[in-house]
Amino acid sequence: MLYKSTRGYEEKVSSASAIVNGIAPDGGLYIPESFPKLDLDKCLKMNYQELASYVLKMYLTDYSDAEVNCAVYKAYDEKFVDEVVPVKYLEGRSVLELYHGRTLAFKDMALSILPHLMKKASKKLGVEDEIVILTATSGDTGKAALEGFCDVDGTKIVVFYPSEGISEIQKHQMVSQKGDNTYVFGIKGNFDDAQSAVKSIFLDDALKADLKEKGYQFSSANSINIGRLVPQIVYYVHGYLDHVRKGMLNLGDFMNVVVPTGNFGNILASRYAKEMGLPIDKLICASNENAVLTDFIKSGTYDLDRKFKVTNSPSMDILISSNLERYLAFIGEDVPVLMNKLKNQGSYTISPSGKEKMKDFYASFATERETVLKIKEVYEKEAYLMDTHTAVAQVVYDRYLEDTSDDKPAMIASTASPYKFTRDVLKSISDDLLLDDDFELIHVLAEKTGLEVPEPIKYLAEDLVLHPHVISKVSIKNTVETILR
Ligand SMILES: *Cc1c(COP(=O)(O)O)cnc(C)c1O
């Protein structure tokens, strides 16, 4: 299996090269040249780790079986409490709980394994340099990448987060990060400032040459890396098969999936699973009030001319969904032309045939108010507690049912633990004034719901701050140079 760039100007590369490079030299994203087919009968007997090895081996054909197995078993070990991905069955739909990893968000599903894949790739390619992962984060990616790369030989990880504008819990998770190869800095600026500084470092040839001499090379842990996308296909197959094993579906029956979407990585993985033969009918794309994808899926026009809004589902506050580029290539659009239009005019429209191919997508969005009310409704009716992102998906799924009366079994991807967004979740189900800090509220939520506090944040308040530094946004490059001196 080889990987090509969405922009089409580069030679095809092996999966190891695609993973180490992160992004193609022409600025495009790596995509598989074909989609292997699943043998679902065979999959039915596999546990999560076996299934992950089976799917990964089809895509990472330049890795040996032993290398893939080793990465899988190191990634999905006892870090995941109980099952790796439990499926919960509610009235008329199920919830695929993707948040049982170390950082309580679905980013762990891919970032637990990416470091192992990257380390093996660099060995395979004879890269002798130490790999330096630079990450700008608005909250979830930073911590998941830190946990994943912590103490992985031959790597360093540097994370920049906005010192104001992330939740207290998200911030403390990062500044208390252990490990000899981890570096975390708050910056006086927002996520975009961090992101553009990091991007400019990636493009700084003089700096790269200088660091090469010192034995370093940069890479990315963002979802532009194909090594993050492939492991996400696995849990859709796992979720479907769980329905079959529990008698909710017969093998071959179709289901719908509902995905709270930001960068379009998670929902794209479900589309790839469908292409591999997983019986998925509709893909329901749920957005918050930054509903650029809802408008795109409905109209075929992607238009950036709108105001960015900070919402109570912050991990989906995004206007440029980078993985959509992969989907545009998938439906045969002329990606370089569309990306140029986006850059120069702030919008693009896909072809009528591309629009036709998008018919298996449904899209809508939830307001903050609808999200809060949905958390309360589901909790009161079914004693099931959703985080804000999952509740966005539930709002949109309910709208889909009203619009279509399609009552096929549906599986909702749940992307974060309610404890990761304790304040907003608690506000939804309680009339009390929430005067305590977020660490206290963790215990208030536990008391109120009886839901056990997840191990990784149980003693979070007691963890020492190991990374106290907050720097100005203009000194990001300088900071990287100092670390790597
Ligand atoms: C990252 C994230 C999302 C969005 O996922 P994409 O793959 O970017 O679409 C949704 N919910 C949570 C909690 C996240 O951390």
Best residue among 95, 109, 263 to mutate for probing ligand 1's pocket (most ligand atoms within 8 Å of CB) is 263
Q: Are 394 and 374 in contact (CB under 8 A)?
A: yes
Index of the ligand 1 atom closest to the CA of residue 262: 9
**Which 3 state secondary structure label does DSSP give 387?**
coil
Cβ contacts of 207 within 8 Å, gap of 6 or more: 201, 477, 480, 481
pLDDT digits (tens, 9 = 90+) for 339-352: 999 989 999 999 99
Q: Are 419 and 104 in contact (CB under 8 A)?
A: yes
pLDDT digits (tens, 9 = 90+) for 364-410: 999 999 999 999 999 999 999 999 999 999 999 999 999 999 989 99
> What is the C-alpha to C-alpha distance for residues 359 and 298, in angstroms, rounded to an integer?
10
**Which 3 state secondary structure label does DSSP give 258?**
strand
pLDDT at 482 over 80: yes
Cβ(390) – ligand 1 distance below 6 Å:
no
What does the pLDDT read at residue 133? 93
Cβ(97) – ligand 1 distance below 6 Å:
no
Task: Choose, from 4, 107, 171, 274, the residue flagged as catalytic.
Answer: 107
Max alpha carbon distance in the chain (Å)?
Answer: 62
What does the pLDDT read at residue 222? 82
Name which residue sits closest to atom 14 of ligand 1, judged by CA: 315
Best residue among 236, 389, 412, 419 to mutate for probing ligand 1's pocket (most ligand atoms within 8 Å of CB) is 389
- Tell me which residue of 280, 276, 330 sits closest to 37, measured CA to CA: 276
pLDDT at 21 over 90: no
Index of the ligand 1 atom closest to the CA of residue 265: 7
Type and span of the H or E element at 349: strand 347-349
Distance from the alpha carbon of residue 390 to the mean position of ligand 1, in angstroms = 10
Per the annotation, the verdict on 107 as an active-site residue is yes
Residue 357 has which token pair?
């191919």
Residue 156, Cα to own-chain centre: how many angstroms? Answer: 21
Cβ(256) – ligand 1 distance below 6 Å:
no
Index of the ligand 1 atom closest to the CA of residue 416: 13
Distance from the alpha carbon of residue 459 to the mean position of ligand 1, in angstroms = 25
The DSSP secondary-structure symbol of 452 reads P
pLDDT at 241 over 90: yes
Distance from the alpha carbon of residue 417 to the mean position of ligand 1, in angstroms = 12
Total-model pTM: 0.94
pLDDT at 193 over 80: no
Cβ(262) – ligand 1 distance below 6 Å:
yes
Cβ(261) – ligand 1 distance below 6 Å:
yes
Helices 114-124/65-75 angle, 10° precision: 150
Residue with the two structure tokens 């997983």: 278
What does the pLDDT read at residue 23? 83
Best residue among 195, 316, 421 to mutate for probing ligand 1's pocket (most ligand atoms within 8 Å of CB) is 316
* Side-chain-facing half-sphere of 44: CA atoms under 13 Å: 13
Distance from the alpha carbon of residue 481 to the mean position of ligand 1, in angstroms = 31
Q: What is the CA radius of gyration of the chain?
A: 21
- The mean pLDDT value for 293-317 works out to 93
pLDDT at 165 over 70: no
Average pLDDT, rounded, for the chain: 93
Based on the number of CB atoms within 10 Å of its own CB, is 171 exposed (0-12), middle (13-18) or buried (19 or more)? buried
> What is the C-alpha to C-alpha distance for residues 87 and 98, in angstroms, rounded to an integer?
9
Distance from the alpha carbon of residue 263 to the mean position of ligand 1, in angstroms = 7
Q: Hey, where are the domains in the chain?
A: 87-104+227-454
Q: Are 112 and 75 in contact (CB under 8 A)?
A: yes
**What is the sign of the dihedral through the CA atoms of 388, 424, 150 and 477?**
positive
- The mean pLDDT value for 32-55 works out to 97
pLDDT digits (tens, 9 = 90+) for 45-64: 999 999 999 999 999 999 99
> What is the C-alpha to C-alpha distance for residues 104 and 152, in angstroms, rounded to an integer?
21
> What is the C-alpha to C-alpha distance for residues 391 and 408, in angstroms, rounded to an integer?
20
Q: Are 254 and 277 in contact (CB under 8 A)?
A: no
> What is the C-alpha to C-alpha distance for residues 191 and 106, in angstroms, rounded to an integer?
20
Q: What percent of the chain has pLDDT over 70?
A: 100
Type and span of the H or E element at 274: helix 265-275
CATH class of the domain whose range is 87-104+227-454 = alpha beta
pLDDT digits (tens, 9 = 90+) for 438-453: 899 999 999 999 999 9
Name which residue sits closest to atom 4 of ligand 1, judged by CA: 262
pLDDT digits (tens, 9 = 90+) for 267-280: 999 999 999 999 99
